[in-house]
Amino acid sequence: MKTATSTDVKNHFGEYLEISITEPIVIQKTGRSVAVIMSISDYERLKALEDKYWANQADQAEKKGYLGRKDSLQFLKSK
């Protein structure tokens, strides 16, 4: 993974955008990593993985006896 300083990215932003299409770039400020520039396709892939993870967590919780979305709403409306 490529690394760049925030100053370098500021001065060559267009170049780093082009690089980010093929690989993520870690942005460092005062020697510490603070952000990542990545392609939209990588971002969408990560978001999809996160959505699947949380959906799985909700399914597991429901199997363990926690109320689902529908039952939770009904419970809250009954109070």
d(Cα 34, Cα 79) in Å, to the nearest integer? 45
pLDDT of 72 > 90? The answer is: no
| pLDDT, tens digit, 9 for 90 and up, residues 39-62 | 999 999 999 999 999 899 888 887
Average pLDDT over every residue of 61-68: 80
- Residue 50 CA from chain centroid, whole number: 7
pLDDT of 68 > 80? The answer is: no
- Which pLDDT score, from 0 to 100, does residue 62 have? 78
Q: State which amino acid sits at residue 23.
A: E
d(Cα 58, Cα 70) in Å, to the nearest integer? 13
Q: In the chain, which residues fall in CATH 3.40.1620.10?
A: 2-38
The class of domain 2-38 in CATH terms is alpha beta
| pLDDT, tens digit, 9 for 90 and up, residues 9-39 | 999 999 999 999 999 999 999 999 999 999 9
The pTM score is 0.70
d(Cα 27, Cα 1) in Å, to the nearest integer? 11
- What phi and psi, each to the nearest 5 degrees, are found at residue 3? -125, 140
